[in-house]
């Protein structure tokens, strides 16, 4: 293993994680983790250049010698531990970032994003496995991804973790205490994880990148305190603080209610990045006027969900209007349009998914109206993908999907491949559980295109997945994309103006 240890240390020096003077300290640190007691610095031989491959060899060797148990969870914990031995201390990373930020915010984020991949916190080899394509729609080019980079739960680790006491530290995977945390069977190792301190809304926040990177420079801004998500005037202020610090990034927040919110509602956080989604490219189709806010441009966006776009150079006016719209929406009921702010049990149902960006020197806020009411017919949500679309997308429609990127379950990689093959051969789709759920959809596709061939099946299915995703977003929109829906939307705007 000497040549692999040597390569790993050379890699750390090349990436400026450590200096040449740190060489033997790093070697000895790695020997300790690997459970080895000797090392030959003159070792020669072939070894891979990619960091993921070097880590893979060292980890599998540790498994073979009984240093760690075999399994996905223990594998990931061990690779994080190895990288943690050679990753710079947080203070060094922060100093580097701040030095670059003083020159140019873009330089700082470019370096930090590259660094997060170089430390293997962002596992590039796994990200490369994600299946990605774009699909044309009536609303522009939608992004589609089948997520394969997030590791599947290891059955052995699940069984072992079940009997392991919960420490409650860190409280969640977004807590600042995750930085450098060794992890366990219930929690990923974060020894190679480094975060950047920010001041947002006058309080301490941090920035990091998502280890799963659904789009370019997919970052997360997180509150230093473990406090629940809330959409209020303060949230709008914080979003605009972020784009003031990083005008080349957008930033958005998941809604603060179940079904229409994200997977982690217990810790306030935003998601952003250096990417332009289809929603950001979508134009305003109906201009709006809000009384008393003549200096704020406003309009309904041509998008499958119900979006009000606000734009202004006057930041305080923008926030004030966004807050007025939010407060109105929280308490707005329109029975004719099946919009209820509260149900008889006093449960609130309405909130907003906000997204902020800078455009042409102006602040811009997209306010996506959300409602999480359920019925017997739609137990997962009236404004949620309906049952006929669940074969493709059943999960909640969070911030990323709202903006036009479908994050689809890993099962679809195999299911779509098998479906294409069976459709080309004309086999019975109901006889296979992988394709049975898609049978009705497949029949509609054949009626539309005729019998699929080996040459066109993949392209047609990908196109049709995009069409399904557009329908998913339409289902999540509180106002239908028709004349009645538009009139109902304008009734809400009138209600805002009449406050």
Q: What is the pLDDT of residue 217?
A: 97
Dihedral of alpha carbons 217, 323, 229, 303, sign: negative
What is residue 161's predicted lDDT score, i.e. its pLDDT?
44
Report strand pairing: 196-200 vs 307-312. Answer: unpaired
- pLDDT the model gives residue 160: 52
The first and second tokens of residue 432, run together, are 């296979």
Q: Supply φ then ψ for residue 431, to 5 degrees.
A: -80, -10
pLDDT at position 48 is 85
How far is 400 from 410, CA to CA, in rounded Å? 17
Alpha-carbon distance 232 to 326, whole Å?
7
SS (H, E, C) 379-419: CCCCCCCCHHHCCCCCCCCCHHHHCCEEEECCHHHHHHHHH
CB 135 within 8 A of CB 142: yes
Q: What pLDDT is attached to residue 158?
A: 43
Q: Looking at residue 262, what is its pLDDT?
A: 73
Task: Give the burial string for 458-488 (b: 16+ CB within 10 Å, else e).
Answer: eebbbbbbbbbbbbbbbbbbbbebeeebeeb
Residue 201: the pLDDT is 93
Asked if 336 and 488 count as a contact pair (C-beta separation under 8 A), the reply is: yes
The 3-state DSSP class for residue 272 equals: strand
Task: State the maximum Cα–Cα separation within the chain, in Å, rounded to a whole number.
Answer: 80
What pLDDT score was predicted for residue 363?
Answer: 98
Q: What is the pLDDT of residues 346-374, one digit of tens each?
A: 899 999 999 999 999 999 999 999 999 99
| pLDDT tens digits, one per residue of 25-34 | 999 999 999 9
Low-confidence ranges of the chain (pLDDT < 50): 153-155, 157-159, 161-162
Q: Is the torsion defined by CA of 133, 136, 141, 142 positive or negative?
A: negative
Question: What pLDDT is recorded for position 398?
Answer: 94
* Cβ(452)–Cβ(420) below 8 Å: yes
Please name the helix (run of DSSP H) or strand (run of DSSP E) that holds residue 251, with its range, or none: strand 250-252
Residue 152 has a pLDDT of 53
- Rounded Cα gap, residues 75 and 69, in angstroms: 8
């Amino acid at each position: 293993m000497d040549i692999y240890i040597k390569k790993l240390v050379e890699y750390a020096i090349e990436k400026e994680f450590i200096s040449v003077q740190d060489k033997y300290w790093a070697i000895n640190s790695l020997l300790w983790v690997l459970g080895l007691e000797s090392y030959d610095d003159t070792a020669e031989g072939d070894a891979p250049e990619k960091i993921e491959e070097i880590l893979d060899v060292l980890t599998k060797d540790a498994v073979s010698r009984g240093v760690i148990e075999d399994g996905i969870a223990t594998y990931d914990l061990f690779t994080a531990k190895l990288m943690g031995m050679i990753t710079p201390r947080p203070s060094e990373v922060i100093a580097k970032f701040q030095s670059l930020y003083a020159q140019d915010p873009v330089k700082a984020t470019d370096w930090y994003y590259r660094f997060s991949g170089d430390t293997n916190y962002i596992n590039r080899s796994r990200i490369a496995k994600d299946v990605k394509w774009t699909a044309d729609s009536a609303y522009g080019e939608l992004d589609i991804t089948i997520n394969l980079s997030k590791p599947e739960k290891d059955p052995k680790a699940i069984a072992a973790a079940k009997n392991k006491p919960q420490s409650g530290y860190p409280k969640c995977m977004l807590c600042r205490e995750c930085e450098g945390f060794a992890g366990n069977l219930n929690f990923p190792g974060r020894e190679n994880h480094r975060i950047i301190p920010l001041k947002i809304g006058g309080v301490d926040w941090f920035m990091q990148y998502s280890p799963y990177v659904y789009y370019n420079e997919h970052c997360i801004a997180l509150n230093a305190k473990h406090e629940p998500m809330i959409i209020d005037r303060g949230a709008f202020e914080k979003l605009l603080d972020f784009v003031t610090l990083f005008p080349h990034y957008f930033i958005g927040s998941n809604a603060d209610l179940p079904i229409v919110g994200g997977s982690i509602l217990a810790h306030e956080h935003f998601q952003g990045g250096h990417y332009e989604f289809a929603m950001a490219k979508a134009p305003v189709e109906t201009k709006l006027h809000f009384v008393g806010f003549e200096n704020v441009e406003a309009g309904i966006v041509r998008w499958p969900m119900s979006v009000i776009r606000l734009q202004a150079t006057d930041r305080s006016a923008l926030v004030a209007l966004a807050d007025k719209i939010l407060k109105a929406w929280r308490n707005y009921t329109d029975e004719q349009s099946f919009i209820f702010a509260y149900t008889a049990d006093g449960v609130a149902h309405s909130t907003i998914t906000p997204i902020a960006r800078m455009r042409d020197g102006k602040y811009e806020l997209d306010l996506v109206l959300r409602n999480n009411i359920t019925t017997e017919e739609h137990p997962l949500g009236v404004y949620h993908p309906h049952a006929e679309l669940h074969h493709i997308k059943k999960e909640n429609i969070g911030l990323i999907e709202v903006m036009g990127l479908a994050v689809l379950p890993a099962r679809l990689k195999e299911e779509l491949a098998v479906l294409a093959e069976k459709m080309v051969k004309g086999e019975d789709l109901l006889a296979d559980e992988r394709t049975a759920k898609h049978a009705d959809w497949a029949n509609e596709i054949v009626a539309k295109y005729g019998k699929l061939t080996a040459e066109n099946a993949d392209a047609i299915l990908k196109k049709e997945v995009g069409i399904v995703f557009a329908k998913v977003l339409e289902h999540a929109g509180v106002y239908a994309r028709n004349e009645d829906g538009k009139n109902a939307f304008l009734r809400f705007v009138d209600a805002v103006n009449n406050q």
